[in-house]
Structure 1
Amino acid sequence: MKHTIRFMVAAVLLCNVAFAQSVDEGRKFFYYEKYNSAKETLEKALAAKPGDVDAAYWLGQTLIELNDIAGAAKVYQTALQAKGSDPLLLVGMGHVELLEHKGNDARQRFETAISLTKGKEVNILNAVGRANVDAADGDAKYAIEKLKQATEVKRFKEPFVYINMGDAYRKLLDGGAAVTAYQNALSLDPNLAEAEYKIGKIYVTQGQEQAGIFLKHYEAALALDPAYAPAYYDLYTYWYSRDVNKARDYFAKYKANTDFTPSVEAEEISLVYASGDFKGAIARADEKLQKEGDNASAKLYRVKAYAYDKLGDSLNALQNMELFFSKGDSSLFLPDNFVKMAEISAKFPDKLEQADSYFDKAIQMDTVVKERVAFATAAANMYKKIDNRAKSADWLTRILSIDTGYGKLDLYYAGWENFYGEKYETADSVFNLYKQKYPDDMQGYYGGFRTKWMADTSAVASGIPSVAPVEDANRFIEIAGVDSVKYKSSLMLAYGYLAGYNANTLKEYEKAIYYLDKMISLDPNNIDAKNNRDILQKALDRPQPKAGAANKSSSTAAKPQKK
């Protein structure tokens, strides 16, 4: 009998060890972002031991990563019914409620879980932090507060608390604090590839000029753990549009270390597109869509759209991009996808209005100022290409609000595009910014002079009084006059305007003659300037009319011209 009891005890212990290993294996799959494998493993673990809280919690987290929010909610609800108010399950349910935009309910569950454990259990505080980082409606500051509380628990040694803390700082756009948190995680576990990888992700947000740094951190992560698939994926996407052979190599390693899903297969077909075989990419995508049906990855429509665009088939490109956005999950959408959709839409008159909304979405997705400026510039260039100068001007002007550190060229292009788009008030405002920031640079004054001149002409025609561009014209002449050869054509315009203004508006013929002489000195063969000077000189030489008599003079007004 004693032998039987010993055998039964040993069997139970072995069963518990095996079960613990299965949960740990599921968590390991989760760490490597092999979510399908994690789901399968944790479902088996939970089926074997329905009351296990860890299995239920991590299965719910896995379903969240697979965008099955309803499935996660069901797992947590079922477990809570069986176990009562278990703190970890409460946090899991709160995570779901954040994703369902039920912030108050979620916060109540978090606080209840923390209260039940007296704020002394690291795994509970860590789970609260993770939930608030992961959900768009989550409170990153609250997450940091609770994660810091976890680090104060006696015998604290959990590196993933610092991983989640770093993610929370990233959510707050505090890159420096995020890097420090990830470094703290490495101090607890020097082989934690995720921490090294996420340090690299911080530098990605600073623009492509930091490529040398973030690529180094990705490679360092793989040196720590050659099975860490997320780093392979980011290296693949970086090289995708730069070196297709390198991209193909990193993708092969990614594929070998992740679950082979329809999404991964779609990426493989995308490499056919990247290699320049556009028709082949379309054929492979169509074959997969026909075979997989609704289970196929929406990425296949994106591949087809880009390939059709390269082949000049805008209609099929548009239709496939529309299918991609309607069938795909938002996690698949990249800023470049919205830019591409905007450019394709602009080729159809009835779709042109939606182009702006797609450019807006691209800008909203990216937090890097230089990238956002690049998207706005792409919008401006697109509208300029189809000769919609007013819309092009709108986007170049918008750049000044996206990047408040704008320089001369930003102001120059925005000002002149508004000028060509006949948006003279905005153009003048932009050139005023130029003059304020660069008071010794002639471009602001020249732009202001030309813009006011055109606006003045429009105002006179409509009977609306305006501000004459005399001050800007004179300041431009003062600066540009030091190199009259280089700026000859621009000076001729300014002298011509001032000559006409003094002759026709002010009736100050001597001043008009002065500016006409300036024109003649620059261009001795200018017949119009000579003739107008002779007319004005004769007017000065003949006897002046008596007081009250009409004073008629010849018109010498120079007409404004487009630049």
Structure 2
Amino acid sequence: MIKNWKYILAISASFITSAAFAQSVQDVQRLVEVERYKEAKATLLRLNTSNPNEEVSYNLGDLYLKEGKIDSANVIFTQALAKDDKSARSMVGLGKVALMKGNTAEAERQFEAAIKRTKGKDASIFKLIGQAYADSDVKDITKALGYINEANKNTKNNDAEAHIILGDIHLKNPNGGGEAMTAYDRAIQIDPNNAKAYLKKGQLYVRSKNYNEAQAAFEKVIALNPNYAPAYRDLGEMNYFVGKYDRAVENFKKYRSMAENSVDTQIKYASFLFLTEDYAGTLAEAQQVLQQDPNNLVMNRLLAYSLYKTNKVPEALQAMENYFKIAQADPTKIIASDYAYYGRMLADTGKTTEATANLEKALAMDPENLDVQNEAAAAYVKAKQYDKAIAMYKTKIAAKPSLVDNFKLAEVYAAAEKFDTADSLYAGIIQARPEYATAYLRRAQIAEAKDKGQTGAAKTAYEEYIKVANQDPTKAASNKQGLFIANYYLGFQAYKAKDLATAKTYWTAAKSLDPTNKDVDVALKNIAAAQKRPTASKRK
């Protein structure tokens, strides 16, 4: 699978040139630029047989690295160096493999050997080393800058590709966006028709949320090459980020029509469909790929997610469990949302203990995910693990105070029968939002729960709730159940006090709120019967 993914959305591209016409390394490099990897590899394998040389070997090995096949790349570079022990490109390739494995000392040894072999005068070697660092996980860009600066020195600062690499290196620095943009601008100054440089600028503008400039950059790429699929992909993603979903889908469909016809392209398209909530489309793409490649990890993931999103919970649970079986081959590929979705599925099927365990795994990987925090807290409550739910909400509130989370915390305290603490929280919410009727209802319910002898201690609180709830007619529907509870309670207290007229008033109001409630019918019949009975004075 090609590396460099955004969330579950992979990044791919296309190029109209057919493999049948790609005859040189330069043709291959153009294919790789637009990420048309299958055609590039087919050409390189053919060239490696018909016209083997260090440049062909380097590009083939580097392509394996882009696919994440480090061992295959290592074999190619090692074989090439064995054939020509003076091959500087093969040394750079082995250095890049070492970087990918985290062995910086070995990488430096290979890079310095390549520079020594070319006497420090070959700009292409410095560019390859700079690109190796740009493609790696090495965060310190000092060495990388040194190498690419040597490339620019050798080319008298007049090589567009070197400046694109320089920009990519600067992007490894969290604050390097300005320097990166300067480098890309210089590349365009050198080569005004460099589509790759404009694409990089567009991507950087998206990163800085300058969407108008990003759109202009992507459209410039398309103007230079209407078949440059990555521009449509990135434009589609940008449209998605800004909420222009119709345009996002339109551009991504163009990308899909131009992109390389491969499983990787289908994965990216299915991922985009999922993000735009086209779950039926996602399922169709996933199922098509899984017929050919049943162990495809990403498509199994998307299958499970989409089944859940379409409310097919049992099927989703089965698909998710199958996904985890496949993922055991490489557990590092499991992501936080996998555990989150699995936890949701388990919670929906009543398996609360397993649900909380998986939601906790999701939070361990992504502790700032608010949705998972809320779901974990809800699962804790279902499992009656109130202390864990309380701790979760307290952590959230400490990080970012919120009346919504205060209310949820109060609900947990109430469920745990820690009534005084819950009541105090509800009182605080009322102080902040005096019009919030539900908080009044909860205080009344707590007062009722604490009144074990049913002495009517909650009477005043329920009366206050009715007063506040009736102040906003637009909330009548949402307050309907609460008003029923309040009127029924107050009717019962009046009935106990033998105030039949008041009881009838409250219970009649309750019946209007819930006409089918049998308890209210019985209560009203009891009042009617009591009112028909003769009073003590009449019996005399």
Using the size of structure 1 for normalisation, the TM-score is 0.60
CA distance, structure 1, for counterparts of residue 340 and residue 202 of structure 2: 26
Matches within 5 A, 1:110-259: 110-137=111-138, 139-173=140-174, 174-206=176-208, 210-239=210-239, 242=243, 245-259=246-260
Q: Which runs of 5+ in 2 are unaligned?
A: 1-19, 414-419, 440-540
- For the aligned residues, what is the CA RMSD? 4.2
1:26 aligned to which of 25, 28, 31: 28
Report the Cα offset of residue 287 of structure 1.
Answer: 4.7
Give the conservation status (yes or no) of the 8 Å contact 2:236–2:251.
Answer: yes
- 2:101 corresponds to which residue? 100
Give the conservation status (yes or no) of the 8 Å contact 1:397–1:414.
Answer: no
SS of equivalent to 2:154: coil
Q: How many residues align?
A: 395
1:507-527 deviations in whole A, cap 9, x for unaligned? xxxxxxxxxxxxxxxxxxxxx
1:78-124 deviations in whole A, cap 9, x for unaligned? 10000103211101111111222222111111122122223322111
CA distance, structure 1, for counterparts of residue 60 and residue 170 of structure 2: 26
- The 1:291/1:35 distance shift into structure 2, 3 A limit, reads closer
Matches within 5 A, 1:148-547: 148-173=149-174, 174-206=176-208, 210-239=210-239, 242=243, 245-268=246-269, 278=279, 281-282=282-283, 285-294=286-295, 297-321=296-320, 323-324=322-323, 326-327=326-327, 340=341, 343-344=344-345, 347=348, 348-349=351-352, 350-362=354-366, 376-386=369-379, 387=381, 389-393=389-393, 396=396, 400=399, 410-412=400-402, 416=406, 420=410
Give the conservation status (yes or no) of the 8 Å contact 2:129–2:144.
Answer: yes
Give the conservation status (yes or no) of the 8 Å contact 1:376–1:395.
Answer: no
- The 1:72/1:395 distance shift into structure 2, 3 A limit, reads farther
- The 1:307/1:148 distance shift into structure 2, 3 A limit, reads same
Report the Cα offset of residue 342 of structure 1.
Answer: 5.7
Identity %: 25
CA distance, structure 1, for counterparts of residue 285 and residue 21 of structure 2: 42
Residue type at the aligned position of 1:97: A
SS of equivalent to 1:152: helix
- 1:462 corresponds to which residue? none
Q: Which runs of 5+ in 1 are unaligned?
A: 1-17, 364-374, 401-409, 424-452, 458-475, 491-563
Residue type at the aligned position of 1:35: Y
Report the Cα offset of residue 62 of structure 1.
Answer: 1.0
CA distance, structure 1, for counterparts of residue 172 and residue 78 of structure 2: 29
CA distance, structure 2, for counterparts of residue 258 and residue 285 of structure 1: 17
CA distance, structure 1, for counterparts of residue 370 and residue 186 of structure 2: 40
1:12-60 deviations in whole A, cap 9, x for unaligned? xxxxxx999511111111111111111111111121122x111111111
Residue type at the aligned position of 1:353: A
Which has the bigger relative contact order, CA under 8 A and spacing at least 6? 2
Give the conservation status (yes or no) of the 8 Å contact 1:133–1:139.
Answer: no
1:45 aligned to which of 41, 47, 58: 47
Report the Cα offset of residue 361 of structure 1.
Answer: 3.6
Residue type at the aligned position of 2:290: L
SS of equivalent to 1:67: coil
CA distance, structure 2, for counterparts of residue 193 and residue 332 of structure 1: 33
CA distance, structure 1, for counterparts of residue 157 and residue 339 of structure 2: 45
SS of equivalent to 1:85: coil
CA distance, structure 1, for counterparts of residue 299 and residue 163 of structure 2: 37
Using the size of structure 2 for normalisation, the TM-score is 0.62
Residue type at the aligned position of 2:122: E
Residue type at the aligned position of 2:373: A
SS of equivalent to 1:411: coil
